[in-house]
Chain A
Amino acid sequence: MLRADNVSFAYGGGFALHDASVAIAPGAITGLLGPNGCGKTTLLKLLCGVLRPQHGRVLLEDRPLESMPRRDLARRVAVVPQETHPAFEYTVLEMTLMGRHPHLGTFELEGPPDLALARAALATTGTEHLADRQYMTLSGGEKQRVVIASALTQATDVLLLDEPTASLDLGYQLDVAAVLARLNREQNVTMVLATHDLNLAAALCHRLVVMREGRVLAQGPCDEVLTHEMVQRLYDVDADVHFHERSGHLMVLPVRRLS
């Protein structure tokens, strides 16, 4: 459904993304892996239409994104950015309700169904008790979960997440992973998730896209892509990659930096 065909993008200077082709499998969780500056965030911004490719096309159901009105696109694809810094002191509930924007008419105000959706999303991310707090007074982990709730309130079938667990402690990392897995399982939400956490990717993702220096090196089922050789190619790190019985997925244990 959502795919990038031979897309390139440069911010000025060199290419951030070069001739990348990625097909996002419907209903699956796809992980974007790669070292810093490899083009993960750029690819996510192209997939949600915030950036437009300078070459190639991004298609949703075979329609180029730039031919779709913003509002229509926002009803299909929601995004959880790395960080969100509002200029004013919105409450958590206000931030969450902003997810309803593409579903409301110009002068329409949120009604009880919108409020119910927002409250449900807050409950899903375990932030219901924060509803009346000011967003800016929350901890990093709370903020991240509220932003996920806001994206859930948008009620899309595609969710793009940029480092959703980067600012979370170990417990919340597992919580967020569980929330995402459940949403994918129960509501069939297609997800694309850029992350540095290889074990999170192994636990959560059905498929992986691995990138380095703006190019896609490989994409495919998680178990096939995430190997000792691939970790070494991506990060110049010697790591043990093996199946872990108790967790039921691959585990990556970095051993040493190769240089």
Chain B
Amino acid sequence: MIIGTSPTDIGGRSVRARLAAVVAGYGALAVGACIGAPLIGSTHISLARALDRSIPFANNVDAQIFFVARMPRVLTGAVAGAALAAAGVVMQALLRNPLATPFTLGVSAGAALGAILVITFGSVVAVGAISPVPLASLIGAVAASAIVYTLATRPGRTISTTVLLLAGVTLNAFFSAVILFVQYLADFTQTYRTVRWLMGDLDVGSFGPVLASLPLLVPAFAVFAVLPRSLNLLSVGTDTAATRGVDVGRTQRLAFLSASLATAAAVSLAGPIGFVGIIVPHLVRLMVGVDHRLVLPASALFGVAFLVGCDVVSRTIMAPVEVPVGVVTAMVGGPFFLWLLVRRS
């Protein structure tokens, strides 16, 4: 369970040593989850046989199940888990609020509205290999971010986190009302599909959707790599950050845009899987302390293991019936998180 260092021995080791330990420990956990998860399922397969190159792929059933049937789903969980967990860390620092999630500023409500409009009013036009629902949810997410961003920013000024929060919360409420209204107009099947979408689903069927999300996720993670030390200072206070040499307005804009981009990509890929973006950063902070240079990479890697692990539970606990993964993350993660909090205090 305990990976990296406990918060109490932070003083004894340099950031460099702790970062190496964190990346190695959480990296091993993430890779282990991605290799282990495809082995688990209704049909038992052997890793050795799946990786055996002497058997032609066409004849290697284990390899087909491992790589074709199960791996796309595992990688979808990995990508969405990393994106949501990292975006949660960035949002919490930007809003100076440990309770913020990637969804606080309306990104997922926008995505949900986009998805629901397509599910209900049925666009039959698929764009290439991309099905219309993820595309619509992506457009909804980007539109919601654009609205909040426009409301909260002034050229050359720092962003007011209060305005940002209020705009996000208001937009969430507004979109939720529109969603309810659309639901009211929808028939039973459409409503079922909508509810199912809202529960999250990693079963994307092929590597295509994961690859399609990379043009959004790669720039988002590139910005995440630059931000951590500025996020430390931002979370101490905007004035303090400014006097310590942080360009506060620029850092806030980069943080908002990168976190929104990552969240939009994850939600359009896997649905609005709640809780990953808040539970993973907090679990990680209990283990590695609060320095964002450790928390951000550790959360991204732990997010991979967490969501992939939850998906294994969702596939197996009531097999052959699948429990929606969004339900599992909150039902497994919630009590565990509360137990950790109680035990700690």
Determine if B98 is an interface residue (Cβ-Cβ < 8 Å): yes
Q: Which of A84, A104, A109 is B16 in contact with, Cβ under 8 Å?
A: A109
Of A77, A81, A102, A131, the residue contacting B11 (CB under 8 A) is: A131
A117 shortest CB reach to chain B, Å:
14
In contact, A70 and B247 (Cβ under 8 angstroms): yes
**B97 pairs with A84, CB closer than 8 A:** no
User: A132 and B16: CB pair below 8 A?
Assistant: no
Contact with B along A27-68 (1 / 0, CB 8 A): 000000000000000000100111000000000000000000
Q: How far is the CA of A74 from the CA of B285 in the complex (A)?
A: 29
Size of A's binding interface in residues, CB under 8 A? 39
Task: Name the prevailing secondary structure of the B interface residues.
Answer: helix
A interface, over-half SS: loop
Pick the residue among A49, A78, A87, A110 that contacts B14 (CB under 8 A).
A110
Check B289 for interface membership: any CB of A closer than 8 A.
Answer: yes
B236 at the interface (CB under 8 A from A): yes
* A88 contacts B290, C-beta separation under 8 Å: yes
CA distance A26 to B19 in the complex (A): 41
Given contacts A93-B11, A94-B10, A110-B14, contact A87 B96 (CB under 8 A): yes
Encode A86-128 as 1/0 by CB contact (under 8 A) with B: 1111110111001101101011011100010000000000000
By beta carbon, the residue of chain B nearest A83 is B237
Q: Is the pair A81, B240 in contact by a Cβ cutoff of 8 Å?
A: yes
Contact (Cβ within 8 A) B236 A95: yes
Closest CB in chain B relative to A144 CB, distance in Å: 14
CB distance from A157 to the nearest CB of B (A): 14
Task: Determine how close the nearest CB of chain A comes to the CB of B204; give it in whole angstroms.
Answer: 34
B244 CB–A CB distance under 8 Å: yes
Contact partner, B233, options A73, A89, A98, A132, Cβ 8 Å: A98
CB of A98 within 8 A of CB of B232, answer: yes
Task: Contact check, B10 vs A93: say whether CB atoms are below 8 A apart.
Answer: yes
Q: Is A242 an interface residue (CB 8 A)?
A: no
Q: Does A85 contact B (CB under 8 A)?
A: yes
CA distance A107 to B229 in the complex (A): 9
Question: Is B341 at the interface (CB under 8 A from chain A)?
Answer: no
Set A89, A104, A111: member contacting B229, Cβ < 8 A: A104
Number of interface residues of B (CB under 8 A): 35
Q: Does B128 contact A (CB under 8 A)?
A: no
User: B56 at interface (Cβ–Cβ under 8 A)?
Assistant: no
**Is B11 a contact of A115 with CB atoms below 8 Å?**
no
Roughly how many angstroms separate A90 CA and B226 CA in the complex, as a whole number? 20
B98, B242, B246, B289: the one within 8 Å of A87 (CB): B98
Q: Are A101 and B11 in contact (CB under 8 A)?
A: no
**Shortest CB–CB separation between residue B96 and chain A, in angstroms?**
4
B290 and A74 contact, CB distance less than 8 A: no
Chain A residues, CB < 8 A from B243: 48-50, 74, 77-79, 81
- The CA-CA distance from A154 to B237 in the complex, in Å, is 16
- Residues in chain B near residue A91, CB distance under 8 A: 7, 10-11, 289
Q: Judge if A233 is at the interface, Cβ distance under 8 Å.
A: no
Contact present for A90 and B236 (CB under 8 Å): yes
Q: Does B242 lie within 8 Å of A84, measured CB to CB?
A: no
Q: How far is the CA of A39 from the CA of B244 in the complex (A)?
A: 23
Contact A70 B16 (CB under 8 A): no
Residues of A within 8 A of B244 (CB): 74, 78, 98-99, 101-102, 154
* Residues from chain A with Cβ under 8 Å of B10 in the complex: 91, 93-94, 132
Q: What's the Cα separation between A251 and B293 when bound, in Å? A: 49
* Distance in Å: Cβ of A12 to nearest Cβ of chain B: 13
- B-chain residues with CB within 8 Å of residue A69 when the two chains form the complex: 247
What's the nearest-Cβ distance from chain A to residue B277, in Å?
Answer: 16
A84 with B290, Cβ < 8 A, contacts A91-B10, A93-B11, A106-B226 known: no
Q: Which residues between 124 and 144 of chain B lie within 8 Å of chain A, taking CB atoms?
A: none
Distance in angstroms between the alpha carbons of A104 and B230 in the assembled complex: 11
B52 sits at the interface (CB 8 A): no
Interchain CA distance A26-B134 in the complex, whole Å: 62
Question: Is B8's CB within 8 Å of the partner chain A?
Answer: yes
Docked CA distance A73–B19 (Å): 29
Q: Is the pair B235, A87 in contact by a Cβ cutoff of 8 Å?
A: yes
What 14 new A-B contacts, CB under 8 Å, besides A85-B237, A89-B7, A154-B244? A45-B239, A70-B245, A71-B245, A73-B245, A87-B96, A87-B236, A91-B10, A91-B289, A93-B11, A94-B289, A94-B290, A98-B233, A98-B236, A101-B244
Closest 9 CB pairs of A and B: A102-B245, A74-B245, A132-B11, A88-B290, A79-B243, A87-B96, A71-B245, A87-B235, A86-B236
Binding site for A on B (CB under 8 A): 7-8, 10-11, 14-16, 19, 92-93, 96-98, 225-226, 229-230, 232-233, 235-237, 239-240, 242-247, 285, 289-291, 293
Which A residues have a C-beta under 8 Å from some C-beta of B? 45, 48-50, 69-71, 73-75, 77-79, 81, 84-91, 93-95, 98-99, 101-102, 104, 106-107, 109-111, 115, 131-132, 154
